Amino acid sequence: MAKIVFEREKCIGCGSCQAVCPKYWKLSEDGKAEYLGPEELKEEEIDCNQEAADSCPAQCIHITK
């Protein structure tokens, strides 16, 4: 099972994660991203979150398999 790590303190609030994976990501009131999913990802949850990680200019989303 894959795990997701989100380093929120590094987030710049660009919204790219929300744009590509809105089911699991949104911008919160403080302007930073908020992860809405589980820490451990099921196989069907990886693709969308991998897109979010790949699109993040701050590189603060990490998926380990």
Least Cα distance to 45 among 15, 16, 25 occurs for 25
- pLDDT value at residue 51: 98
pLDDT at 55 over 90: yes
- Per-residue pLDDT tens for 13-47? 999 999 999 999 999 999 999 999 999 999 999 99
CA dist 19 and 42 (Å) reads 21
The set of residues, in sequence order, having a beta carbon less than 8 Å from that of 3 and lying 6+ positions away, is 39, 40, 41, 63, 64
- Neighbour tally for 1: CB within 10 Å: 12
- pLDDT value at residue 33: 98
CATH number of 2-64: 3.30.70.20
CA dist 3 and 57 (Å) reads 20
